[in-house]
Amino acid sequence: METYPKLKAVLFDLDDTIVDSRTAEYKAICNFKKLFSNFDDIEDNEFAQIWSKITIELYDKYYKGIINFETLRIERIKKLFSNFKIKIEDNDAKEKLKIYLELYEKNWTLFSDTIDVLEKLKNKYKLAVVTNGDGIQQRKKIEKTGITKYFAEIIISSEVGFAKPDEKIFQIACKKLKVEPEECIMIGDKLDVDVAGCIKLGIKAVWINRKNENIDYKYKITQLKELLEKIIN
């Protein structure tokens, strides 16, 4: 087990790190599909894969600063329908987006080991969430899953003006927590977003590799509970 005598704060990504957003998204898009007869002839898994591909493409543009979050959301819906040769306008996309987001929200759940890990860390370290996304939605997600009480700070890209992997969002987190970068550890599920950004600043980054991707990285875990077993105590 690694030991970090200077460790004062633990930063967490939110989606697919402590909240099982991937499962929530899958259930939401499958339920969304059932509301439109245009999609009757496609299987749930294939439909979800199309949605996932669109999501990855648009989030890549968002992380690079090419589009803002609102554009990402609207384009996500428009591209989904255009994939089936259905053209919809922005206003229609916004209405359909509301339907999807309601379904997504109903399926928010924590990973089974999230609470246990937060409970064991809360009295030893300052805990914070550092997440990309919409402030209203992310705060609602944290509140509805019952984990607000564990975090000294919640830093969200749309509220601070910088998105991971930009190191500025991690600088803001350190400043709010009143700690130095070398006194922090960051845990996230995306190497190019969560890990890459904070490493530049000198924050140790732990990659939670839930998909078991065969990529070599020193600080790698597959479940959150391994953070206590392999990284910190």
**Is 3 within a domain?**
no
Please list, in sequence order, all residues whose beta carbon lies within 8 angstroms of the beta carbon of residue 76, skipping any fewer than 6 positions away.
54, 55, 58, 97
CATH of the domain at 80: 1.10.150
Which residue bears the tokens 């928010």?
A: 108
**Is 1 within a domain?**
no
Residues 55 and 14 in one domain: no
| Domain end position, chosen among 59, 76, 106 | 106
| Domain end position, chosen among 88, 106, 124 | 106
Q: Strands, DSSP E only, in the chain? A: 9-12, 126-131, 153-156, 184-188, 204-208, 220-221
| Domain end position, chosen among 44, 75, 106 | 106
Alpha-carbon 160 to chain mean position: 16
Domain limits at 41?
22-106
Please list, in sequence order, all residues whose beta carbon lies within 8 angstroms of the beta carbon of residue 155, skipping any fewer than 6 positions away.
128, 129, 130, 131, 169, 172, 173, 176
> pLDDT tens string for the chain (233 positions)?
455 658 999 999 999 999 999 999 999 999 999 999 999 999 999 999 999 999 999 988 988 889 988 899 999 999 999 999 999 999 999 999 999 999 999 999 999 999 999 999 999 999 999 999 899 999 999 999 999 999 999 999 999 999 999 999 999 999 999 999 999 999 999 999 999 989 889 999 999 999 889 999 999 999 999 999 888 86
**Is 115 within a domain?**
yes
CATH of the domain at 143: 3.40.50.1000
Q: Please give the model's pTM, rounded to 2 decimal places.
A: 0.90
Residues 88 and 125 in one domain: no
Q: How many domains are there within the chain? A: 2
Residues 192 and 117 in one domain: yes
